Chain A
Amino acid sequence: MNKKYFKTLYILFKKELMSYFNSPIAYVFIGVFLVAGNWLFFKNFYLIGQASVREYFSLLPWIFLFLSPAITMRLWAEEKRSGTIEFLLTLPVSDWQVVLAKFLGALAFLSFSLLLTFTLPLSVSTLGNLDMGAVLGSYLGALFLGGSYLALGLFISSLTKNQIIAFILGLVACFFAFIIGADFVLVSSPQFLVPLMKFLGLGSHFYSIAKGVIDTKDIIYYSSFIFFFLWLNTKIIQTREWK
């Protein structure tokens, strides 16, 4: 039974992944992602004059902020608009499997794009002594942060059949989830809310991982964030009373 469950999940996952590469979206996405990331990084790299990619990883959340909703916007909205959702959800698969497959497909795609950025630390490492441990930690952090954005964006996409709305709302939601724990927000917030906001913000957890410090607390936080929105997503899909 379990084997069967994962087989179904895998078939759905393959279908999701295929839909990225069947359309030009994937290539445009990867192109923009790599060019924007590299350009923003190398713009200041020679000014700073340090063999470090920390600058890159502090840029990454902002690049992801735009690109994650771009990945997730069509995942549900397009199925609803074209009606394929009726086909998909009358197949012998559970709603949870479909949600999970969509998430994992998006995550795999994001991971693939992230993998292509590995040329960046590699080229920097030829210029000086790069702390590879920290780099790998940063990648892990980026993956968790990206996964959280994707889970949130996927959930938003399930609320509408309009991709543009899914994108904009996704962007706004990810933005708030990210900055809620940032210092400049905390300064102007009521004192008693500060610990809570710091805990809830996607950003505050990111910077500690990006420094290369992998804390189980952060991992658990990100995992629960992702799980929560996938669960919420499943609930929305189950009601079938979407717009």
Chain B
Amino acid sequence: MIEIKNLQKKIAGNIILDDISFSVKKGEILGFLGPNGAGKSTTMKIVTSFWNPSKGTVLVDDINVEKNSILTRKKIGYLPETVPLYDDMKVFEYLKFVAEIRDVPKNEIKKRIKEVVEETGLKKVLLKPIDELSKGYRQRVGLAQAIMHKPDILILDEPTTGLDPNQIAEIRDLIKKIGKEKTVIFSTHILSEVSATCDRAIIINNGKIVAEGNIEELMKKAGAREIIYVKIKGAKDEVLRKIKEMENVDHVEVKDKESDNIYGYEIKPQKNVDLRENLSSLVMNAGWSILEFRKEEMSLEDVFRNLTN
């Protein structure tokens, strides 16, 4: 479990993190969202004891990361954003070093490396020097390094940047698999990633948390409303007028045209009222017919833009 209380970080007089508090429960996958430079990496650097906070505390399993950092570091596996690796080592040498320094018992090192290599798909490059690896393989080595000691907590800073779609899918699956038993925090600025993998997300901007919750809650918070799309066969002007007169309708407009008297309309309700029933009875009474009917939601991208602008 990770508990972050009133975290502040100043670097050279600039406030990078401004009074951030949140907690991550065991077995939860938390997506850490925000534009570049929002403070995601800074938060991660503090949780992993690379940097000290200017103010506030971070507790990992109730242990202070500043005061007892050796203990908390043991619980954490960390993949920094830049995927730093020792380029002059071979993959195997590097993983062996990680296993040793991470206290994997000596007689289990080989077995553990084998497992990790299997999980991250590194078998082919095991004997290659790290500086000859492609970006995708580097990322995997970084990930292998982070999970080597079976940490309770995994912190991944933008683990999917620079990967191709297949690799992204693989890494996501791996995160999901690990997240079943472990706590995972990963940062990203790609929204679909959050909806694909996370239980919960935190959106951070300019060093402050702007929204927090599961995907639906985030949508609500951003003022995301359902939009109804309906295709009606009937006289356009009359349809428009009647819909406008309906209760709880904020806005209606013609979206597309199929033929002379078949149009698609987009209806925005006031608040979050379900208009569908009223709408269908309206159409019935007027003697028109509905040819298509669907609910559209504001995309995560819109939410993100709403919250961070």
Chain A residues within 8 Å of B, Cβ to Cβ:
8, 11-12, 14-15, 18-19, 22-23, 82-87, 89-94, 240
Contact = CB atoms under 8 A, between A and B. Distances in A.
A84 B84 contact: yes
Contact of B86 (A8, A84, A86): A84
B82 A86 contact: yes
16 contacts: A8-B101, A15-B97, A15-B101, A18-B97, A83-B80, A83-B84, A86-B80, A86-B84, A87-B85, A90-B48, A90-B49, A90-B50, A90-B73, A92-B73, A93-B101, A240-B52
Nearest to A82: B84
A243 B110 CA distance: 38
Contact of B93 (A18, A23, A91): A18
Nearest to A94: B70
Interface string B9-53: 000000000000000000000000000000000000100111110
Interface in B45-76: 45, 48-52, 70-71, 73-74, 76
Given A11-B101, A86-B45, A89-B50, A18 B78 contact: no
| A-B CB proximity, top 4 nearest | A83-B84, A84-B84, A83-B82, A22-B88
B93 A92 contact: no
Contacts of A89: 49-50
Contact of A92 (B45, B52, B89, B103): B103
Contact of B100 (A11, A22, A23, A84): A11
A12 B101 CA distance: 8
Contacts of A94: 70
Nearest to B11: A241
Interface residues of B, number: 27
Given A18-B93, A86-B45, A87-B145, A92 B86 contact: no
Given A83-B82, A93-B101, A240 B93 contact: no
Nearest to B48: A90
Nearest to B71: A92
Contacts of B87: 82
A82 to B, nearest CB: 6
Contacts of A91: 73, 101-102
Given A11-B97, A86-B82, 4 more contacts: A87-B80, A90-B50, A92-B70, A92-B71
Nearest to B77: A90
Nearest to B78: A90
Nearest to A239: B52
Nearest to B157: A86
A116 B49 CA distance: 42
Describe B's contact surface by its main secondary structure. loop
Contacts, number: 63
A240 B42 CA distance: 13
Nearest to A20: B88
A8 B145 CA distance: 17
A201 to B, nearest CB: 37
Nearest to B146: A87
Contacts of A85: 84
Interface in B97-153: 97, 100-103, 145
A160 to B, nearest CB: 17
A22 B48 CA distance: 29
Nearest to A19: B88
A32 B93 CA distance: 28
Nearest to B12: A241
Question: Which of B71, B97, B101 is the most central at the interface, judged by chain A CB atoms within 10 Å of its CB?
Answer: B101
B93 A84 contact: no
A18 B100 contact: no
Interface in B200-245: none
Contacts of B70: 92-94
Contacts of A82: 84, 87
A135 to B, nearest CB: 36
Nearest to B99: A11
A91 B51 CA distance: 13
B130 to A, nearest CB: 10
Contacts of B49: 89-90
B274 to A, nearest CB: 50
B129 to A, nearest CB: 8
A90 B145 CA distance: 12
A14 B89 CA distance: 12
B299 to A, nearest CB: 34
A92 B80 contact: no
Contacts of B97: 11, 14-15, 18
Nearest to A240: B51
Nearest to B69: A92
A93 B76 CA distance: 13
Contacts of A84: 84-86
Contact of A22 (B51, B71, B76, B89): B89
B50 to A, nearest CB: 5
Contacts of A11: 97, 100-101
